[in-house]
Amino acid sequence: MEKITILSSTNRPNSLTHRVSLYYTRFLQSEGLEVKLLDFTQLPTTIAFSELYGQRSSAYSELIETYVSSVSKFIFISPEYNGSFPGILKLFLDSVPPREWTHKKACLTGVSEGRAGNLRGMDHLNGVLQYLKVNVYHNKLPISAVSKVITPDLEVVNPESKAAIEQQLKGFIAF
């Protein structure tokens, strides 16, 4: 069975990104898949100074093994930050040896309060992942007005959004 890591790609506590990530996790688990959720609030606060350029703590090595090395598929739930994806996501990607990403598969979901659902950020992230030789699934889903789409108790209230998420995930499972 393939293992999937969902990356809640912001270190902002109590984020809507995390809420969407939990929804995705619950859906995939209901499909019988082995899913791990990496909430970026779990990353070391000193990641930029302690986990790069050959410096690696044993705890961070274990995190990479658990969420990246031992996994074949990734779902990036990425909020829009300044017209792109969060810097913490780029920092995380830079902290992992490129060989750990090679020939793996990824699915992208953008979230924002704006009307574009982080389309530009997903394009930027797609470019970085392609450089790392990751096969990116074609159905990149922008979720706009995210606070109106998903409730605090993880209910997707908009039937069209729910159908789009399920279609994306079922396609990614088969990818």
pLDDT digits (tens, 9 = 90+) for 151-168: 999 999 989 999 999 999
CATH 3.40.50.360 assigned to 3-174: yes
Q: Which residues contact 112 (CB under 8 A, 6 or more apart)?
A: 79, 80, 118, 142, 143, 144, 146
**pLDDT mean over 59-67:** 94
Length of the chain counted residue by residue: 175
Instruction: Name the residue among 93, 68, 89 with its Cα closest to residue 79.
Output: 89
Using only C-alpha atoms, the chain has a radius of gyration, in whole angstroms, of: 15
**pTM score, two decimals?**
0.95
